[in-house]
Amino acid sequence: MGPYIGPVMASDSNSQLGHRDYLKMNGLGNEIVVLDLRGTGILVAPEEARAIAGASTSRFDQLMTLHDPQTPGTDAYVRILNRDGSPAGACGNGMRCVAWAAMRGRADGELLFETAAGLLPAERLSDWMFTVDMGAPRLAWHEIPLAEPFHDTRWIELQIGPADAPTLHTPAAISMGNPHAVFFVSDAEAYDLGRIGPMLEGHPLFPERANISLAEVRAPDHILLRVWERGAGLTQACGSAACAALVAAVRRELTGRRATVTLPGGDLLIEWREGDGHVLMTGPVEFEHQGVLDPALFAAEAA
């Protein structure tokens, strides 16, 4: 297969996205579509993202679109949209897929991307294994953001269930470029996250909504994690949530600064580096297929 960048046929629909090539990939089962729009000036609208996600061949949890660099020295600006068309500031699994797509045909194994969450370096360790520097976590209540002040975001006042015997309570709150609430539990499989997740994602405490995670610490270097992803729902894996879970665990002195985070789709190695406070995420990617967007998708959405 040749490089992803290439000439594009003209669209015969109102959308400029018809007939454009896309890559369908996944990171530990986290469904990703990569769309290279460098040199076009095109921005994908929310309704267009929903149309792409609605097709069985291009279904995604996150859509990663590459655009011309905004900062000198970077390789691309990456926009991220969730399945419902809402924007996301970060997607660790998606960034590894972007790195794989962008490094095809290149001799070097390092790239620097820019996102709404900041600059994210990516390094290729092998054909299918990548490390992404997700940057430093944001821990202050107004940076996450939360709707009201909390002096210590290791524990925030939020619970599900009766006040005297809550089912879940006092999660940690963290931003990895997107907001996360991490509940530490003794058994992550014992809860109906498909019911709890949507109740908490849009809680008034989270003005930008939040990813909701259940974290079970199995050892000082091992966390089991389940995630309800903002704008996407239950997911096989969420890289930024894995980063948030490790940071939260370290802040509560439950783990060391380097741990394997096991998600339903597989394992990620997460390290909260002490020197600069950056969080490094290492994991695999999988290529599924290359396809072409059908103009009829966007005609139907417009109608």
- Does residue 238 have an active-site annotation? yes
Using one digit for the tens of pLDDT, what is the confidence trace for 207-253?
999 999 999 999 999 999 999 999 999 999 999 999 999 999 999 99
Mean pLDDT taken over the chain: 92
pLDDT for the residue numbered 4 = 34
Helices (H), 173-216: 193-201
Rounded mean pLDDT, 1-25? 62
Rounded mean pLDDT, 22-33? 96
* CA–CA dist 133, 121 (Å, integer): 5
Unique residue bearing structure tokens 């993202």: 49
Pairing of strands 266-272, 258-263: antiparallel
pLDDT for the residue numbered 162 = 86
- Does residue 97 have an active-site annotation? no
Rounded mean pLDDT, 169-175? 97
Using one digit for the tens of pLDDT, what is the confidence trace for 90-139?
899 999 999 999 998 787 799 999 999 899 999 999 999 999 999 999 99
pLDDT for the residue numbered 302 = 57
pLDDT for the residue numbered 14 = 57
From the candidates 91, 232, 243, 245, which is the catalytic residue? 91
Is the confidence at residue 194, as pLDDT, over 70? yes
Strand blocks (E) in 95-142:
110-115, 118-124, 129-133
* Distance in Å from the first CA to the final CA of the chain: 36
Q: Are 21 and 290 in contact (CB under 8 A)?
A: yes
* CA–CA dist 196, 119 (Å, integer): 33
pLDDT for the residue numbered 303 = 54
Rounded mean pLDDT, 165-185? 96
Rounded mean pLDDT, 248-269? 98
Is the confidence at residue 13, as pLDDT, over 80? no
pLDDT for the residue numbered 301 = 59
pLDDT for the residue numbered 114 = 96
From the candidates 64, 76, 182, 238, which is the catalytic residue? 238
* CA–CA dist 197, 214 (Å, integer): 10
Q: What is the pTM of this model?
A: 0.90
- Using DSSP's 3-state secondary structure scheme, residue 116 falls into coil
Delineate the domains of the chain, giving CATH numbers in brackets.
21-133+286-302 (3.10.310.10), 159-277 (3.10.310.10)
Strand blocks (E) in 162-278:
168-169, 172-175, 179-184, 211-219, 222-229, 233-235, 258-263, 266-272
